Amino acid sequence: MGAYETGLIIVGIALLGTVVLPRLLEHRPLSFPIIYVGVGYLLFAVVPGTPVLDPIQNSALVERLTEFVVIISLMGAGLKIDRPFSTRTWAATWRLLGIALPLTAGLMALLAWQFLGLLPATAILLGAVVAPTDPVLASGVEAGAPLTELEEEQDPRYEWGSVRFALTSEAGFNDGLAFPLTNLAIAAAGASLAAGASRAWLAEWVLVDVLFKIGVGTVLGYLIGELVARVLFRLPATGGVVDIIGGEEEVMAGVEALAATLIAYGVTEVLGGYGFIAVFVAALTLRRFEWEHDYYLELHDFAVVVERITMATVLVLFGGTIAGGLLWPLTPIEALVGLALLLVVRPVTGVLSFVGTSASWPERAVIGFFGIRGIGSFYYLSHALAESSFREIELIVAAEELWAFVGFVVLASILLHGVSASPVMDRLDRWQ
């Protein structure tokens, strides 16, 4: 079977799953990602001659495909959030970003250096790749559609942030904030290869990769989100685009979410900022405009459909790479370190993030446990390995081993969190 026929089958599975699976999996200990990875594995293992996507040989395709899935998911995550943006009411988010993210990255880099024998730059890379939680695979623990939790999020009892809000907002921001850590690894790798290199690269990393790029992403995301919101809700004479959708034009309802995503990401990347941050900030800015307008449901639903189709495509291909031997280079010690990330490192750093808050211990435990790893990790790894400064390091640490480790972490997260998300969140809701 050729690549074209395989592609048709994968897209067909994605479309069918988008329609059927929500009704079948609701409140069950199973998830979209588990189904899609399983189908992908069976498709590529059972059907003879099915071409497997090699993430190393096809790194450019993997990078762009995972990049697109993540930015669509970031727009959807931003539109879900019903909590008005402020430094006080988003305290849970800042704690997770300021404590859990760097601690997770640092501890994983240390484990990779000490137990996996990686060089310092590559250990930093691995820590950066697996540190961010994933907005793509977190549908079971994320906030619901716009307007569904508006009253809860304005309740003063949730001042520190509800569980679903905390996980959604964290996933929205930390996919972008993992970029400086990835760029730190790339810069460190380049410095280690340069004879007589000074520490000027570290100052450049702080000024450019941390301050400048985060600032550009934030500012452009706000401006583009504000512009799209005004086009949607403030067009003169018509009263806005949302008032003229009807009849045959209704099939295009919500497409503005995709337009805003592509514009925010593309413009920000061209101007040297972090596009992931820009997309999420644009979604938040758009969401706060005409706060209780019903049209946000259309925007959100369109983003979710596109996200599920592209997510399914990536996960079916991921299942195929597993069938093709992606995990063969994995060693027992690497598997133990990967499980330590999911069962020890992330839960502990997540719980530590809420020391001194009013969050209950069950809520801290749930937020700490559901640090889902996923498609964002695939993107960061493919992006980093495409950098020339890692080519010599790959002679010592094969790219196959890095992909095997990250693939194992994502697969374990899909299974562990996918099975537990519905029963744990249902029980937490009843407890609350």
Collapsed DSSP state (helix, strand, coil) of residue 31: coil
The distance from CA 297 to its chain's CA centroid, rounded to whole angstroms, is: 21
Task: Give pTM, 2 decimals.
Answer: 0.88
CA–CA separation, 360 and 155 (whole Å): 16
**Measured distance CA(143)–CA(168) in Å, rounded:** 6
* CA 427 to mean position of chain CA atoms: 25
Task: Quote the CA–CA distance of 72 and 7 in Å, as a whole number.
Answer: 21
Alpha carbon distance 303, 280 (integer Å): 13
pLDDT reading at 91 higher than 90: no
Per-residue pLDDT of 263-309, as tens digits, reads: 999 999 999 999 999 999 999 998 887 766 777 777 877 788 888 88
Mean pLDDT of 223-243: 71
* HSE-up of residue 223 (Cα within 13 Å, Cβ side): 10
Question: In the chain, what is the straight-line distance between the N-terminal and C-terminal CA atoms, in Å?
Answer: 52
The per-residue pLDDT for range 314-364, each reduced to its tens digit, is: 999 999 999 999 999 999 999 999 999 999 999 999 999 998 888 888 889
Of 375, 381, 374, 379, nearest in space to 401 by CA: 381
For residue 384, CA distances in Å to 49, 52, 97, 183 come to: 31, 22, 22, 8
What is the C-alpha to C-alpha distance for residues 294 and 145, in angstroms, rounded to an integer?
11
The stretches of 81-161 forming alpha helices (DSSP H) are 91-95, 101-115, 120-130, 150-153
- Banded model confidence at residue 224, pLDDT cuts 50, 70, 90: very high
Q: Is the pLDDT of residue 81 over 90?
A: no
Looking at residue 120, its amino acid is P
Summarize the confidence of residues 67-79 as an average pLDDT. Answer: 90
Query: Radius of gyration over alpha carbons of the chain, in Å?
Result: 21
Supply the DSSP symbol for 316: H
Of 315, 272, 239, 276, the C-alpha closest to 40 is 315
Cβ 58 vs Cβ 131: under 8 Å? no
Residue 112 has a pLDDT of 93
Name the more confident of 52 and 271: 271
> Does the pLDDT of residue 238 top 60, yes or no?
no
Confidence at residue 207, expressed as pLDDT on a 0 to 100 scale: 93
- Domains delineated in the chain: 3-431 (1.20.1530.20)
Between 158 and 202, name the one with better pLDDT: 202
Q: By CB neighbour count within 10 A (0-12 exposed, 13-18 middle, 19+ buried), where does 9 fall?
A: middle
Q: How far apart are CA 110 and CA 120, in angstroms?
A: 9
| pLDDT for the residue 185 | 86
3-state SS class at 26: coil
C-alpha 108/C-alpha 96 separation (Å) is 16
pLDDT of residue 248: 45
Task: Tell me the C-alpha distance between 31 and 21, whole Å.
Answer: 9
Token pair of 6, please?
A: 């395989």
Q: How far apart are CA 180 and CA 379, in angstroms?
A: 14
Neighbours of 32 (CB within 10 A): 22
Distance CA 73, CA 412 (A): 21
In this prediction, residues 370-379 reach a mean pLDDT of: 90
* pLDDT at residue 417 is higher than 80: yes
Predicted pLDDT of residue 23: 65
The answer to whether the CB of 369 falls within 8 A of the CB of 431 is no
CA dihedral for 242, 244, 247, 252, sign (positive or negative): negative
